[in-house]
Structures are given as structure tokens and as C-alpha cells.
Structure 1
């Protein structure tokens, strides 16, 4: 467990924390990270899972509204239940039902996930939008000022020199273990579908969580969880960097088109086809 300096193709650097061969932001605690597989779970836990910058804060609000059976915002942020940030001793103090979150590769998930009746919601987002969102996020990250250009960042994002592993590795690691999970305890939701048809997707999510709510409450949840409205409300309690909410930016679909050059998009699609060949998700973001 040690800090490593990662250098992009132009010589810009960022410092990461190496824990058992997996890289994380250097401000994280190595002991907490290495103990994630042994975290204690409860049968009524809900685990939000997926790659960073995929919409977890948004999903966290929606799930908590469903669990509370109201359209009220929770007076705290998801960081209180993030497995990479909170030791098991702190997680144990959270009241049930807990809404937990993690970005680790699937083989690093808590071992009790295979034994408990935990419901896992896996959110997946277009990796191009993920790359753009993370670029802006990390450029503002006060603990490690990254000065590289978008092209430098894209090169890192698609290489093995990246935190939590690449998006491709993350998806494939999930596929390797998902067959061993009870399908009644696993739900996959796509960011783009949630944006396009929020009422329909929230209804399906509620059914998975075995929560029966009248339509008017579901419609109010849709209204309250609209990204710009939620961002405005959560502005009061969320962490800020340079006066801006750290976790909330645009929350739109297809923002990558404002950033990727034609040659970068061509390169990415070639890589996507190669890395996702045979994946159950291959067709999702594959374009001619």
C-alpha cells in the first residue's frame, strides 16, 4: 500500500493510492479500502454499485425517496455509506435499511453479498459521458491538481493507468460474478433510460425493491429528483470546490459530443468494440 505518481502522455502527473494493485484517490484510507471484502452486510441493505461518475448521487436520492415512501430529500449525502470512505465500524452505526454505495470491481465487493438478501442496483452510464464528467471533476479536485488537457485525460482513461481500473475492466469484472448472484437481488439500470423515461424506470426500480407506492407519490419523486432541482437543493449540504458543488455538474446525456473530436470518437469506438467483444452490454454503447 503506497502512493504512486501517474504520468500522462504529456508529462502531467496525478498521485494515486495503490492498495493491492488497485488505484484510488490518494486521500482515501488504505485500511478502509483493503477491508471492503469483509464489510458486514444486513439482509435489508440496498447496495448502489457501478463505475464512478455514473449517476450514483442522483440514484441515491431516488432510492432513499422510495425507501422513505416520500418525495423528501434526505438531509445527508451518500458519502456516509460509501464503502471506500467509511470503515465497517461507522457503517454499523447507520440505521436500517442502509443505502450503501461502492465503485470497486466486482471481485472486491463484500463477501457477504453472496450470502445475504441484499438488493444490488447496478447503474451503468455511457463511458464517453463518464470520461468527460470525470475530467471536469478531477480538474477541480483540490487534493491533487491535475493540469492535463482533455486529450491527455482520455489517454489515461482508456489506459491501465486509472483509478478503480478502466470502465471496460469494471464492467467485465461485474459480468464475471453476476452469474453467481441471485437475479431477484440484482437490478441493472442505465443512466440514459432513467433520464429519458424517469417515471417508468422509477416504477420498475420500486417493484424490484418491493416498494408499492401510489402514482402521485412516484410522480412527485420524478419531479423532485429532476437533476437541476436536486442540484439546487443539495447545494446547501454538498461539498464544494471553488464555490461549486463537487458532485453535481450537468447531469445530461450526450455531453461527450461537445468534447470528443471525430478522431477521438473513432479511436474510442475501436477500443470499445475490442474491449467489449462478447459482453452482454456490448451493443449498448456501440455505434457505427
Structure 2
């Protein structure tokens, strides 16, 4: 079910992935149009192999790492780019974009090769961040956006990226969205210092 072909496509290649994105959630809209998503530990997530989510939770954290966290399409990419420009002291976009520091999409060999201080990106919930984030008290930048804007941006994301393989109408997709097919970022159990 879903995209189980040997073709990795440009997104996988950008993140230096060796496996294609996969669908194991079996989600369909009311008209039967499927959308590739991953069901992992009871959560519906962006299409990915479960081992990538497991690896992201086991990432080796450095004390000076900064984490950009937020629900998909809330501006994580632009915040990630801005922070990297500040870190580099130059207003130049990264050649690879957030893919190099995207915990659940790139492999450890990619984000571990980044120089410190690293700007790491994730759409994982707080309880799925690597354990050392709390130990080191790393800086976390949480992105938010108007939910209506998130919904329209995410719908366009889903119909335009082949990894999702969604071909339905926005009204049918919106019912899936409201039903929580992709609510992968919920703030729970956060202690503010």
C-alpha cells in the first residue's frame, strides 16, 4: 500500500535517504482517495519509515543544539533558515535547506556531521525529543501559525508532493484534517524553567 517503489525521488535524495517513504496508516478520505501517512506508536505522522522516528528520538544531543519544533506548515523551515543565517553571519539560504538538520527525515550521519551549534528541526511532539534535550536544557523554538493557514498550506503540500500521493478535493481532505489524521504535535507534560 502506498509508495513502496524503488524510486526515492528528489526529497529522499535531498535527505540522503536510502529507503523510500512508506504508507502504513491506510488513511482515505470519504471518497476513497488514499493519502500516504505513517502510523507509528499510535500516532499518525508524515509518511516515513518507523525506524526514522525511532532514530530521531535516539539522536545524540549536544549542549549547544537549538531545536526548531512545530506542527507541519507552521513556519519551521523559515525559522530554521533564519537561525542558520544568524549563526553563519550571512543572509544566504542553506544549499540543502532544513533537510540536513531534520531529525525524523535525515539520518544521523547527516545531522551529526553538522558543526556546532546545530540548528535541528523536528515536527515530533515534545515527549519524542531526544532525552538529553531536558538534561542539557537546550533552547527550543516553538513555531505556531493560524490554523486556517496551516490547513490550506498542508493541503497544498499533500497534493503537490508525490510522497503523500493524495489526489482528493480540499473539502474531502479537510474532513481528514479536522478528524486529526495529522495532529502530530500536541503540547504535553512540558515543565517551564
Q: 1:106 aligns with which of 126, 149, 154?
A: 126
In 2, Cα distance between the equivalents of 1:143 and 1:109?
24
Q: CA RMSD in A?
A: 1.9
The alpha carbon displacement at 1:181 in A equals 4.1
Q: Is the 8 A contact 1:2 1:19 kept in 2?
A: no
Q: Give the TM-score taking structure 2 as reference length.
A: 0.81
Q: Give the TM-score of the pair, scaled to structure 1.
A: 0.56
SS of equivalent to 1:4: coil
Relative to structure 1, the CA distance from residue 70 to residue 89 in structure 2 (aligned partners, 3 Å threshold; closer, same or farther) is: closer
Q: Which has the larger radius of gyration?
A: 1
Deviations 1:16-74 (A, max 9, x none): 22221122333x23212123222111111111000000112211121111112232333
- Which protein has greater RCO, CA pairs closer than 8 Å, 6+ apart? 2
| Cα distance in 2 between the residues matched to 1:87 and 1:177 | 27
Q: Aligned partners of 2:141 and 2:132: how far apart in 1?
A: 16
**Bigger share in helix:** 1
Whole-Å separation in 1 of the counterparts to 2:116 and 2:157: 31
**Which stretches of structure 1, 4 residues or longer, exceed 6 Å deviation after superposition?**
none
Contact residue 36 and residue 163 of structure 2 kept, 8 A: no
Structure 2 counterpart of 1:121 = 141
Matched, 1:19 2:46: no
1:150 Cα shift? 1.1
Runs of 5+ unmatched residues, structure 1: 183-288
Give the counterpart of 1:80 among 67, 81, 100: 100
Structure 1 residue matching 2:136: 3-state secondary structure: coil
Quote the residue 2:25 is aligned against.
4
Task: Write out per-residue CA displacement over residues 142-176 of structure 1, whole angstroms, 9 at most, x where no aligned residue.
Answer: 1332121111111111113x13x26xxx3xx32x3
